[in-house]
């Protein structure tokens, strides 16, 4: 008889994926990095519980989950504005919550935002795979609970570490909780093949509004708006980076995301900064998006501050 205890899911939701900080050192093998789409919400869920940087959490897209706990532990739920209940009683988000063996936890569909993050004290006990990561890749068939890329299924048990010393109750201050209704402006570092875009095209890009289309997924955010002209549309395929803005032949930009392909031959106007990608990860199709130019130095300072706070890295 198995002694493993954890959370047993009676309703797994539309798309619930185990995600951590992503894989490193694998792109030369044609494997994407993956990891949590909204690193800000994912990092806060772990920090509230005293978990170390990189600890796996469950990324829940569009809510709608229900699970029963088989142990006494603590959880934190951040990200999209869902209604969380424990045994039918409402519980707050962005804070440390106690759950006990036999408790039933539910998350509704989100009011704002689209991705929630469920972390548990000590992290889900799932062995790492390629690149030292358990990040779920449905396209590649790797990672996740069963190491085959499958999203969470009804009846799955996510193993949790038992008998850990509880942490004090913590809450993210309201000013630090993002407003997913706010107008979305993404910071962009002009780079890569920016010289292939005429000056009037760049001016139009930064002055125009684009719309997030329903074709958006974990691979890329496809946008619709004023078409961008490119000088010389073909390139030798080269490595891609997180946030790169590719412009295919139709002139409609695509922002490459966590599960992107590792190489591409479309010209790239620049790259959306990591902190802006967190905000993008929470917006549904139909969201209006604008862009503003930033510098590599400014983006690096922002990322360094983020890592100092959440990962104690510089």
What is the average pLDDT value for the chain, to the nearest integer? 94
Q: What is the pLDDT of residue 1?
A: 37
Task: Measure the CA–CA gap between 234 and 9, rounded to whole angstroms.
Answer: 47
Q: Which of 153, 176, 199 is the last residue of a domain?
A: 176
Per-residue confidence band for 2, with pLDDT thresholds at 50, 70 and 90: low
Q: What is the pLDDT of residue 29?
A: 76
Q: Are residues 109 and 196 in the same domain?
A: no
Determine the 3-state secondary structure of 84 from DSSP. strand
Q: Are residues 266 and 291 in the same domain?
A: yes
Q: What is the pLDDT of residue 310?
A: 95
Location of structure tokens 């994912």: 42
Q: Are residues 188 and 172 in the same domain?
A: no
* Domain-located, residue 112: yes
Condensed to tens digits (0 to 9), the pLDDT of residues 146-179 reads 999 999 999 999 999 998 999 999 999 999 999 9
Q: Are residues 215 and 273 in the same domain?
A: yes
* Domain-located, residue 113: yes
* Domain-located, residue 11: yes
Domain containing residue 289:
184-310
Q: Are residues 277 and 158 in the same domain?
A: no
* Domain-located, residue 130: yes
Q: Are residues 39 and 172 in the same domain?
A: yes
Does this model's pTM top 0.85? Answer: yes
Q: Are residues 189 and 244 in the same domain?
A: yes
CATH number of the structural domain spanning residue 200:
2.40.100.10
Q: Are residues 230 and 289 in the same domain?
A: yes
Torsions phi, psi of 112, nearest 5?
A: -140, 155
- Of the candidates 134, 122, 129, 121, the one whose C-alpha atom is nearest the C-alpha of residue 59 is 134
Q: Are residues 52 and 196 in the same domain?
A: no
* Domain-located, residue 1: no
* Domain-located, residue 225: yes
Written as six digits, the tokens of 216 are 């958006």
Q: What is the pLDDT of residue 5?
A: 95
Written as six digits, the tokens of 154 are 């009804």
- Which runs of E-coded beta strand occur in 96-204? 96-99, 104-107, 112-120, 157-159, 184-190
Average pLDDT over residues 119-148: 91
3-state SS string for 173-219: CHHHCCCCCCCEEEEEEECCCHHHCCHHHHHHHHHCCEEECCCCCCC
Q: Are residues 286 and 239 in the same domain?
A: yes
* Domain-located, residue 169: yes
Contact 115, 38 (CB under 8 A): yes
Q: Which residue has the higher pLDDT, 131 or 186?
A: 186
Per-residue confidence band for 227, with pLDDT thresholds at 50, 70 and 90: very high
Written as six digits, the tokens of 41 are 């919400």
Q: Which of 176, 205, 235 is the last residue of a domain?
A: 176
* Domain-located, residue 152: yes
Task: Measure the CA–CA gap between 195 and 165, rounded to whole angstroms.
Answer: 56
Q: Are residues 48 and 101 in the same domain?
A: yes
* Beta-carbon contacts of residue 152 (< 8 Å; ≥ 6 apart): 9, 12, 13, 16, 17, 18, 58, 65, 144, 145, 158
**Structural domain count, the chain:** 2
Q: Which of 152, 176, 200 is the last residue of a domain?
A: 176
Least confident of 11-20, 83-92, 113-122, 261-270: 261-270
Q: What is the pLDDT of residue 233?
A: 66
Condensed to tens digits (0 to 9), the pLDDT of residues 63-92 reads 999 999 999 999 999 999 999 999 999 999
Q: Are residues 158 and 257 in the same domain?
A: no
Does residue 32 have a pLDDT over 90? no
């Amino acid at each position: 008889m198995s002694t493993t205890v954890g959370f047993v899911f009676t309703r797994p939701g539309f798309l619930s994926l185990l995600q951590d900080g992503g894989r490193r050192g694998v792109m030369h093998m044609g494997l994407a990095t993956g990891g949590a789409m909204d690193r800000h919400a994912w990092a806060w869920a772990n920090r509230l519980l005293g978990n170390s940087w990189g600890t796996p959490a469950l990324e829940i897209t569009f809510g709608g989950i229900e699970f029963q706990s088989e142990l006494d532990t603590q959880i934190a739920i951040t990200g999209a504005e869902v209604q969380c209940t424990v045994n039918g009683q409402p519980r707050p988000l962005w804070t440390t919550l106690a759950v006990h063996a036999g408790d039933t936890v539910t998350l509704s569909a989100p009011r704002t935002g689209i991705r929630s993050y469920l972390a548990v004290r000590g992290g889900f006990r799932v062995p790492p795979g390629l690149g030292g990561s358990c990040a779920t890749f449905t396209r590649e068939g790797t990672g996740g609970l069963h190491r085959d890329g499958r999203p969470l299924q009804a009846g799955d048990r996510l193993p949790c570490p038992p008998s850990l010393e509880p942490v004090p109750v913590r809450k993210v201050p309201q000013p630090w909780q993002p407003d997913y209704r706010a107008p979305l402006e993404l910071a962009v570092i002009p780079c890569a093949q920016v010289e292939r875009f005429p000056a009037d095209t760049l001016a139009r890009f930064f002055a125009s509004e684009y719309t997030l289309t329903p074709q958006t997924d974990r691979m890329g955010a496809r946008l619709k708006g004023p078409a961008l002209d490119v000088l010389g549309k073909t390139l030798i395929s080269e490595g891609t980076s997180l946030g790169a803005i590719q412009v295919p032949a139709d002139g409609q930009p695509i922002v490459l995301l966590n599960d992107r392909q590792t190489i591409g031959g479309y010209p790239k106007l620049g790259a959306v900064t990591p902190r802006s990608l967190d905000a993008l990860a929470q917006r549904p199709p139909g969201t209006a998006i604008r862009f503003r130019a930033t510098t590599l130095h400014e983006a690096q300072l922002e990322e360094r501050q983020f890592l100092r706070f959440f990962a104690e890295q510089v």
